Every structure is written in C-alpha cells, then in structure tokens.
Amino acid sequence: MRPSTRIPGILAGLALVLGGAVVAAPSAHADVKACEQYVAQHAPKATDGAGEACYQGYIGNLTSCNASLVAVGVSKDAAQSACEASR
C-alpha cells in the first residue's frame, strides 16, 4: 500500500473511533447548580451550605448530601430530590 493511500484510511478510522467516543459519552444534564436551584425553590431559607451538600451529591455521596441539606433545614423529600438533581 502506498503512503498516499494509507493516510485517508488512517484518518477515516480515526474519525470513526472519535465519533464512537462522542456517542458513548454520557450526557451531562444535572449538576451542582441544578441541586442548588432545587433547594432555592423548595427551601429558600436553607440555601446556606447547600452548595457543599450538592457537591457531595454530585460526586456520588448521596447520604452526605441528604444529611447536610436536612441539617440546614431542607425537608427529607426535598433534600432527596435535590441530591438526585445533582447527579
């Protein structure tokens, strides 16, 4: 195979591999901000400390997220929903 014929084949293969990685990547639809906004809507007096609690939920520590939000005055149901929104 000549080098000039090999280059387009390599580029095509690379494009297929990178395209597959983009398709396989999970979509980011929730984050710390979504959790904080949920807390602000459902427990406006309990926004102090919500950012750190929501970050705990974002990294997967839902137990800490829930407990921290309840500790600052968010109801258990709202805390659970807010922590789920951070994931």
- How many Å apart are CA 53 and CA 19, to the nearest integer? 36
Least confident range from 14-18, 58-62, 66-70, 81-85: namely: 14-18
- How many Å apart are CA 76 and CA 14, to the nearest integer? 49
pLDDT: which is higher, 56 or 26: 56
Q: What is the average pLDDT score of the chain?
A: 80
Residue type, 27: S
Confidence (pTM): 0.64
What is the per-residue pLDDT for 23? 45
Q: How many CB atoms lie within 10 A of CB 70?
A: 17
At residue 47 the predicted structure's pLDDT band, cuts being 50, 70 and 90, is: confident
For the segment 16-24, the average pLDDT, to the nearest whole number, is 50
